[in-house]
């Protein structure tokens, strides 16, 4: 008997209906990053054991907006772009595990279903949001990725604005910030169907299998605000000090990862 | 060290940010059901082992549109209705396991993130779609749930229409169809992070913990059409014979299920 | 030579492409109304000459949420419900013209294009918004239109929440508030293409050609809040005193109106 | 008495609530153009008197997808990009008036309210649609505006796909097609509130007040399809012969126009 085909839901006769092709997944897009310091206790409370705070600058947080086009190996989604384009905004902290520093996404909002389901696979805690970013373009009134270019970015969910920023590029930078620069350490959880804890809880590591990037740019932060919401805890990450802002265009391939702690559940 | 709180993603300091409260989950809504027969081979190809075709009428399929308001135990979502209201359209078949007949959702489209993540927990293979249903209302030009009331329902995904129907209620019925009337047998899958098969594959059973329903109505099928799409296989369920149509208003509580085959993966 | 057909844009060979059929237009839906008093000067500043403040209770404002199904004479939209269903939230004040009291919509947000274009015809100053309302339903956890039923309603535009309320029905009422109870006095404006003022500016009167309504309900206001936004002036209507809240299900036919001041422009 | 402020709806105390600032309006974006020939009779039936068919190549049609960022004079919308970004797809033909050739938009779908209301001012017959276009980007898997770059574009409305194309850039071109290259001749209509014809019907001319453009590219048409819909007449423009495809990045300023026939109504 032939089994239904497909990398993830839904599995079907031919696999055509599957929301996700099997990795590798290919991405091209723009990243707008704000880095700031919060109380390290606010980071610690988001790290499940066995993860601990990063030894240096443990209160550093990156809030990153991304405007992506992505696809599987056939690249078919790119030419039916409703299936390729999505935007996301995500908060990243650093943590330590067995003496190594990792990045970890603690909150993330996306605007397409395929991105949300990829998150279940990758351990990104995805919800839906409405994300907007000014886009660079060769002609005015749009900005260019160059000194003086101003970019706005906003995040909303459930019809409430959650975060907004405006930055102005100032000079080339050596890197695109430091908080999101490590391999990701994420939990893949599946609550038990009988409601008693998790039936699967796995700590995994993943990162880009291939990476290209344009010159990163440093930016002045003209405006940055987080808003309260009954459905979020973003404002618990109180901004004690702004670190910096960055803008970069990149291309990435993601092709899976590995288990760090294969079975820590139930 | 306190662990992050929350039933499912994201887990956070207080649990407020979690997309889902822990079950039980409460639902009130309307169901518009079309039942038809397809080639049983088309159903069989969607059933992973150890599931087999139902012994009687194995090619029966139900395509069901639902317009829901749902919430957790605090009912807070009901009064911030962007968080409570969603619509879905789902295809159900029957199958057999260890001598018992189950219903099984093979495709489902929803329009909110909380509904999609609930699907990951419950084994519903959820994608996003755009779903619309005529709503009953006391005044013309809207229909009432009564003889002569006409209701339309449509489904689209990725900017393509996938299914549409128009029905007219004719008489009270004993039940709301038969295909979706059994406990659900679903697979909960999690692909391995290294890409080698599934790290979790569990067959679970679930059903309503509590159920209320108004009088079901039988309906004439004025129009019913499935459309091809490069992202779907719905039209493989070729309509050989229409069985009937139904409309019913219901209230349901869902409170988890149990494992039928706890570990059939990798 | 045959002229293109259609009541309004676009006009085409057969009229099938027209966004709007010619009136009459038929509506069935639910209204959730909050009435409050603001500074009458805040109302006066929204009334163009020759309109003046209503002689009694001139600072009264109604903010009304409505969940509609609407259609033209063929009723075809009802059965392709993506074309029939829309929600709106609108602010209404009263004004006087030639000794008569009129209602006047000063702000309105809708979520469908056909509703926006109807507004251009009717003089409603429509923008897009995201509007949600708890819906009555026979089964828990949804409320019923009965004492104790609680309903929430929210409005957002441009990813910012603008207004929200929660009400609980207390008792039958004689009427559904008083602010929106008069014929509407609206301006139909068309700015000149050369940028010099308006090429058309007409004061019109319109109202329902036919009306049916269920028992209105009075409600307790559990929560009511207006929010600032850079794109709105709703919070200029500062809430000095809450008057009351109402809920009613209605059916309406709209079939045009008449000019009060046919040409007051340029 | 001070009059309410604002270029168009809604007019308010300060003008902040107005959906549109007064022109000039500034745009930067990408255009993907498909030109084809249809039966000239299909064009003629869309031209109200006194417009007539263009003397040369009267059956030429352009279907153009555009991905815009736009703003008013303060440029504030650019940095709150939910208010600046929109996409559209529009069909253009040519026509003649008093011995001069004009372009004329016969159908257009946009995805934001401010774009729809601008259309009422400019005489564009705007409806809402869902529009997607592959975007150029420096990194794979995205295409670049260069030989070999492949771009897809799709249009849907009311949950039905209406048009889709895939093109591959082949070589620099002298111009970006010819159908949309003339001043626009549009009708500004306002139906009478009593339902008897139009109370305003004006033929206007407008065009860009300032224009910048990158090198236009010619493209191979890999795929182009129009779909039937009960709400559209796009497929009446039967494709007899494909003329060509183009891609260009541009910057435009729009600052009003002039009346050609100020009063041809009722």
pLDDT at C1: 58
Phi, psi of B249 (to 5 degrees): -100, 130
Best of B91, B92, B105, B125 to disrupt the A interface (most A CBs within 10 Å) is B125
Give partners of D (≥3 CB pairs < 8 A): A, B, C
Q: Each residue's pLDDT tens digit in chain C (266 positions)? A: 579 999 999 999 999 999 999 999 999 999 999 999 999 999 999 999 999 999 999 999 999 999 999 999 999 999 999 999 999 999 999 999 999 999 999 999 999 999 999 999 999 999 999 999 999 999 999 999 999 999 999 999 999 999 999 999 999 999 999 999 999 999 999 999 999 999 999 999 999 999 999 999 999 999 999 999 999 999 999 999 999 999 999 999 999 999 999 865 54
Report how far apart, in Å, the C-alpha atoms of B232 and of each of B32, B129, B228, C260, D99 are: 21, 12, 7, 55, 52
Which two tokens mark D265? 């109504």
d(CA B226, CA B235): 6
A-C contacts (CB, under 8 Å): 18
pTM of the entire predicted model: 0.98
Inform me whether the C-beta atom of residue A249 falls under 8 Å from chain D C-beta atoms: yes
Inform me whether the C-beta atom of residue B236 falls under 8 Å from chain D C-beta atoms: no
pLDDT at D141: 98
Facing D156 at nearest CB: one of B132, B154, B159: B159
> Per-residue confidence at D2, pLDDT binned at 50, 70, 90?
confident
pLDDT at C266: 46
Facing A161 at nearest CB: one of C130, C154, C159: C159
d(CA B139, CA B154): 22
Inform me whether the C-beta atom of residue B160 falls under 8 Å from chain D C-beta atoms: yes
Chain D residues whose CB is inside 8 A of the A247 CB are none
Q: Do B154 and D159 touch (CB under 8 A)?
A: yes
- CB-based contacts of D223, cutoff 8 Å, min separation 6: D164, D165, D166
Chain C residues whose CB is inside 8 A of the D9 CB are 119-120, 125-127, 189
Alpha helices in chain C (DSSP H): 40-44, 113-122
Which two tokens mark D97? 């008036």
Among B133, B123, B39, B46, which residue's Cα sits nearest to residue B85?
B133
The distance of A88 to chain D (nearest Cα, Å) reads 14
pLDDT at A262: 86
- The pLDDT tens digits of the residues spanning C168-208 come to 999 999 999 999 999 999 999 999 999 999 999 999 999 99
Cis before residue B179, ω within 30 degrees of 0? Answer: no
d(CA D193, CA C23): 10
Q: Do B79 and C150 touch (CB under 8 A)?
A: yes
Which two tokens mark A32? 């707008």
CB D203 within 8 A of CB D187: yes
Best of C89, C159, C163 to disrupt the A interface (most A CBs within 10 Å) is C159
Note the ipTM here. 0.96
Q: Do B138 and C249 touch (CB under 8 A)?
A: yes
Q: Which residues pair with B92 in a beta bridge?
A: B62, B105
Inform me whether the C-beta atom of residue D154 falls under 8 Å from chain B C-beta atoms: yes
Inform me whether the C-beta atom of residue C152 falls under 8 Å from chain A C-beta atoms: no
Phi, psi of D40 (to 5 degrees): -55, -25
The distance of B52 to chain A (nearest Cα, Å) reads 10
d(CA D163, CA D165): 7
Inform me whether the C-beta atom of residue D132 falls under 8 Å from chain B C-beta atoms: yes
CB atoms closer than 10 angstroms to residue A218: 19
pLDDT at C262: 86
- Mean pLDDT per 10-residue interval, chain B, length 266 residues: 90 97 98 98 97 98 98 97 98 98 98 98 98 98 98 98 98 98 98 96 96 98 98 98 98 98 67
d(CA B107, CA B198): 20
Which two tokens mark D74? 């303060």
Cis before residue B141, ω within 30 degrees of 0? Answer: yes
Cis before residue B50, ω within 30 degrees of 0? Answer: yes
Q: Which of residues 46-105 of D touch C (CB under 8 A)?
A: 46-49, 76, 80, 82-83
Inform me whether the C-beta atom of residue B245 falls under 8 Å from chain C C-beta atoms: no
Among D213, D211, D212, D206, which residue's Cα sits nearest to residue D255?
D206
Which two tokens mark C116? 């926006």
Chain A residues whose CB is inside 8 A of the C132 CB are 159
Among D10, D233, D16, D254, which residue's Cα sits nearest to residue D122?
D254
pLDDT at D266: 46
Numbers of helices and strands, H then E, in chain A:
2, 13
Which two tokens mark A18? 């599957």
Phi, psi of A11 (to 5 degrees): -95, 135
Q: Is the pLDDT of residue A42 over 60?
A: yes
Q: Is A18 helix (H, G, I), strand (E, B) or coil?
A: coil
Q: Do D154 and B156 touch (CB under 8 A)?
A: no
CB A60 within 8 A of CB A179: yes
The distance of A193 to chain D (nearest Cα, Å) reads 35
CB burial class (10 A; 0-12, 13-18, 19+) of residue C53? middle
Phi, psi of C116 (to 5 degrees): -65, -45
Cis before residue D44, ω within 30 degrees of 0? Answer: no
Q: What is the DSSP string of chain B?
A: -PPPB-SSSSPBSSSTT-SSPPSPEEEEEEEEEEEEE--HHHHHTT--TT-EE-SSSTTEEEEEEEEEEEE-TT-GGGGSGGGTEEEEEEEEEEEEETTEEEEEEEEEEESSHHHHHHHHHHT--EEE-EEEE----SSTTS--SSTT-EEEEEEEETTEEEEEEEEEEEEE-SSS-STT-S-EEEEEEEE-TTSSSEEEEEEEEEEEEEEEE---EEEEEEEEEE---TT--GGGS--SEEEEEEEEEEEEEEEEEEEEES----
- The pLDDT tens digits of the residues spanning D106-138 come to 999 999 999 999 999 999 999 999 999 999 999
Inform me whether the C-beta atom of residue B200 falls under 8 Å from chain D C-beta atoms: no
Inform me whether the C-beta atom of residue C163 falls under 8 Å from chain D C-beta atoms: no
Q: Do B75 and C152 touch (CB under 8 A)?
A: no
CB burial class (10 A; 0-12, 13-18, 19+) of residue A25? buried
Best of B89, B231, B253 to disrupt the A interface (most A CBs within 10 Å) is B231
Q: Do B69 and C137 touch (CB under 8 A)?
A: yes
- The pLDDT tens digits of the residues spanning D75-92 come to 999 999 999 999 999 999
Q: Do D121 and C8 touch (CB under 8 A)?
A: no
The distance of C152 to chain B (nearest Cα, Å) reads 4
> Per-residue confidence at D262, pLDDT binned at 50, 70, 90?
confident
* Percent of the residues in chain A that have a pLDDT greater than 90, as a whole number: 97
Chain C residues whose CB is inside 8 A of the B166 CB are 79
CB D97 within 8 A of CB D214: no
Angle (deg, nearest 10), helices B113-122 and A113-122: 40
Q: Is C135 helix (H, G, I), strand (E, B) or coil?
A: coil
Which two tokens mark D239? 């494709």
Chain C residues whose CB is inside 8 A of the A132 CB are 159
- In order of start, what are the domains of chain B with their CATH numbers? 26-183+211-258 (2.40.400.10)
Q: Is the pLDDT of residue D191 over 70?
A: yes
- The pLDDT tens digits of the residues spanning A194-251 come to 999 999 999 999 999 999 999 999 999 999 999 999 999 999 999 999 999 999 999 9
Cα A234 off chain centre by: 15
Lowest mean pLDDT across A57-66, B102-111, D257-266: D257-266
> Per-residue confidence at A1, pLDDT binned at 50, 70, 90?
low
CB atoms closer than 10 angstroms to residue B146: 11
> Per-residue confidence at D264, pLDDT binned at 50, 70, 90?
low
Among B9, B127, B207, B203, which residue's Cα sits nearest to residue A6?
B127
Q: Do A156 and C154 touch (CB under 8 A)?
A: no
Among C32, C29, C65, C62, which residue's Cα sits nearest to residue C168?
C32
Q: Which residues pair with D154 in a beta bridge?
A: D132, D164
Which two tokens mark C89? 């939230």
Inform me whether the C-beta atom of residue D167 falls under 8 Å from chain A C-beta atoms: no
Facing D13 at nearest CB: one of C9, C45, C119: C45
């Amino acid at each position: 008997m032939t089994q239904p085909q497909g990398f993830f839901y839904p599995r079907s006769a031919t696999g055509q209906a599957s929301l996700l092709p099997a990795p590798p997944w290919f991405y091209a897009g723009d990243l707008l990053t704000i880095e700031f310091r919060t109380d390290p206790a606010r980071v610690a409370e988001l790290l499940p054991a066995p993860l601990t705070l990063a030894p240096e600058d443990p209160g550093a947080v990156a809030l990153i907006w991304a405007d992506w086009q992505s696809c599987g190996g056939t690249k078919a989604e790119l030419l039916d772009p409703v299936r390729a384009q999505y935007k996301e905004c995500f908060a990243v902290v650093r943590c330590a595990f067995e003496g190594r520093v990792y990045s970890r996404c603690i909150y993330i909002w996306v605007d397409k279903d395929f991105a949300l389901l990829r998150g279940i696979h990758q351990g990104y805690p995805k919800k839906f949001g409405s994300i907007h970013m000014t886009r660079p373009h060769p002609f005015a009134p749009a900005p260019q990725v160059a000194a003086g270019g101003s970019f706005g970015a906003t995040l909303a969910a459930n019809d409430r604005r959650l975060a907004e920023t405006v930055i102005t590029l100032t000079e080339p930078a050596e890197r695109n910030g430091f908080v999101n620069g490590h391999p990701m350490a994420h939990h893949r959880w599946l609550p038990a169907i009988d409601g008693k804890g998790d039936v699967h809880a796995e700590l995994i590591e993943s990162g880009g299998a291939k990476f290209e990037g344009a010159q990163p740019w440093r930016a002045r932060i003209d405006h940055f605000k987080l808003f309260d919401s009954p459905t979020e805890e973003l404002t618990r990450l109180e901004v004690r000090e702004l670190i910096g802002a960055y803008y970069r265009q990149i291309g990435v391939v993601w092709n899976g990862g590995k288990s760090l702690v294969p079975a820590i559940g139930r």
